Amino acid sequence: MTSAMTSETGFTCRVLTGRYVFMVLLLAFSGITRAADTLHIPRAVKPPVLADYVTGVPANAGVEITDFRQRKPGDGIPASQATRAYLSYDDTHFYAVFVARDDPALVKARVGKRQDFLGDDYVILELDTFNDKQRAFEFFVNPYGVQLDAKRTEGQETDYDFETQWQSDGQLTSDGYVAMLAIPFKSLRFRNQPVQTWGIAVGRLIARLNEASYWPAITQREAAFIPQFATAEIPEQITPGRNLQLMPYTYMGKSRILNKDGNPAPYWEKQSKIRGGLDAKWVFSEAMAIDMTINPDFSEVESDEPQVIIDKRYEVLFPEKRPFFLENSGFFQTAQPLFFSRRIADPKYGARLTGREGSWAFGSLLINDDAPGQQLPAGHAAFGKTANISVLRVQNDIADGSNLGAILTQRKLGNMSSQVAGLDLQYQWDQNWLITTQVSASKTVDADNRQSQGRLAYAEFKRTDKNLNYSGKWLSISPEFDTRLGFIPRADLRQTTQTLTYLWDVDEHPWIQNHGPQITAIASKDHQNTLQDWSADSAYIVNGTGSTVLEAHLLNAYERYDQFGPGRYHKNGYLLAASSDRINWLSFDLKAGKNEVINYLPATGQASQLGDSRSLAAILTAKLNAHFRVEQTLLWNDLRLQKAVADQRSGSMIYRDLLSRTRFSYQHDRYWGLRLVLDYDFLKVNPGLTSLAGGKRLNSDIQVSYVLSPGTSFYAGFADRQENLRLLGNPLYLQATDKLDLHTGRQVFVKFNYLFQL
């Protein structure tokens, strides 16, 4: 911890009120316990071989598990298809082999690269290696052996960005499929003890039936997931050993890009880039690791998924993609995200320490960022300086499914600084109720040494059950709260959100599994108690087999928007949605609706107006065979004038936006792949009604990839951008055209990284 952060200790303590401290102490002495029989894992005579399980089960296969029970749709009833799992271990690995019975013609599976088998059948191994009922490693394998790994944390979204080293294999058989997992102990974290006692669960998903089954039975009638695991024992001391990983990468590229902000004229920028960097990990005990980076990988090989971002009042979230920041990112996550790593735009080096000791988990991050100093005006005292960023997180497991945590973040740039400190509590009240609370405070010092302080408070009461689900949230953010390192799109806010869902089970219908209403109500005020907005979403939902979901929403809302003149807007609309994966080779996700929307960016001199908006979002995926797939994403929306303005009649178009992404993917095997992505964006605007700038753009991106494992991969690609522009004159100037006449950017690159594991 830096001295500056240490000096904030008193400031941090003042975050908690007396009532909050009393509640934490009260809850720390209570909890939920669960008794379970112990599963004894035997030592493997030899490492299992997948071929030995295709026609039978070899002798000494390990402990056999057969009693898989449905979690959904039929909570607690036997799985519809027989599954057997065989577990064992040796000095270096934990092994799991699954024999899954089914009609092979009905099994949904395809060859894909690592982490990519959405919509397939798969089997699951989950390991709570500290047996703390809080966190678990998850390992998934589809029938072709394609692997996916993740980290599950109670009360949080599953972290699918987690990646580690392990081996898998899979094969379709005449009566289903078999799959094998070999997890190196080097890839896990656990206590150094003579006997290992872990939480464990194994599962299977049958995609066409939307059926998830587990051993032991894991019911939807309880909010907690990991506390329902069985207890497994490895009856001798094992160790991952010391683990040193080095992952250098090299990026080489050439580009030619038209700089349209040139003064006085646009000009071509040509660049040849060779960049290298290094990520390193040292696991210096069974439960502690240091990660370091120099010139971290910027992950240029994958672009952001298309989102509608025009005419939005608040910031839109784009997720992190850089490998160094994805590692253990879930540990720094809080209910209201006080640390969002994408705020760090241009780091040069950094280090992270994470680990566990008893019931305590801790993590810290130190990193720099050149971008903030470059974004300041040239005459600013901190212009060109580097921002230094530090994050500290600690958490104590006070009971099964319950924990108490603290987080500190700091950014220093020249004589400017900002600190945020917070405490958070997650408490499993009983089998159904989960309580989450968070309090935070910020302190900011600007270039003139002026100080400001802000506060944030959050609470959620959540009930989870098979049929009745409820979430009640309350959030307060003061106007001065510092959001520089977090993702807090909105300050000066007092907001309550209530969501209630009830689903009736349907047992005899051929494809409907459950259905029922859902109501979501949100109300927001500022700290002067002025109503800012409210919304009510009344929906009816139908869930069916094959991941089929049908939804109908009736929308009512109010919003106050005073930026371009006083505005009080009442909005109404509807949304219809349908998604399904029932057809083996085709899946779709469709949303269509009509709503009243504010024109947040009117033309100069005009006030904001309420307009009629229509929207369509469609995602179609065609799996033409086990290797070839076509994905089409289409986002379309328009906004039309509701009332006449000046010389513009009612019904006049304000803007119309079309986003299209077409992706062709060919995966030769689990390692080699080829893909072509075409991104088309066409924004048509009425300059008499909006200040948005229209235009057309087509990005073409072709790429070949070889992904052996996390940390070892090769990419080569070519990208081209076209726009509806023409370059004319001397000096040069740009003229808008109707067609994609000008190639404004081209790039070719090669990227290689390799994992050395010592």
For the chain, domain boundaries: 31-234
Note the pLDDT of residue 30: 37
Q: Which of 58, 114, 67, 68 is nearest to 88 (CA)?
A: 58
CA 24 – CA 402 distance, rounded (Å): 11
CA 40 – CA 95 distance, rounded (Å): 14
Note the pLDDT of residue 92: 92
**Considering just the CA atoms, what is the radius of gyration of the chain in Å?**
27
Tens-place pLDDT, residues 532-574: 999 999 999 999 998 999 999 999 999 999 888 788 999 999 9
Note the pLDDT of residue 322: 81
Note the pLDDT of residue 14: 43
Note the pLDDT of residue 242: 62
| Helix count and strand count (H, E) for the chain | 5, 41
Q: Which of 667, 645, 637, 641 is nearest to 654 (CA)?
A: 641
- Whole-angstrom CA distances from 160 to 22, 137, 421, 565 are 36, 11, 27, 45
Note the pLDDT of residue 29: 38
- Whole-angstrom CA distances from 402 to 24, 226, 361 are 11, 12, 13
Note the pLDDT of residue 18: 43
The residue type of 490 is: R
Q: What contacts 47, CB < 8 A, 6 or more positions away?
A: 90, 93, 95, 182
Note the pLDDT of residue 382: 86
C-alpha dihedral (287, 487, 475, 154), degrees to nearest 10: -30
| CATH class label, 31-234 | mainly beta
How deeply is 653 buried, as exposed, middle or buried, from its count of CB atoms within 10 A (0-12, 13-18, 19+)? Answer: middle
Note the pLDDT of residue 33: 34
Tokens of 469: 């689900």
The residue type of 586 is: L
Q: 441: how many CB neighbours lie within 10 A of its CB? A: 23
Tokens of 215: 């051993």
Note the pLDDT of residue 162: 86
Q: What contacts 587, CB < 8 A, 6 or more positions away?
A: 119, 547, 579, 580, 581, 620, 621, 623
pTM, to two decimals: 0.86
- Positions in the chain short of pLDDT 70: 1-36, 241-242, 299-304, 306, 308-309
Note the pLDDT of residue 241: 64
Q: 176: how many CB neighbours lie within 10 A of its CB? A: 20
Main-chain dihedrals φ then ψ at residue 11, nearest 5 degrees:
-60, -40
How is residue 258 annotated by DSSP? E
How deeply is 567 buried, as exposed, middle or buried, from its count of CB atoms within 10 A (0-12, 13-18, 19+)? Answer: middle
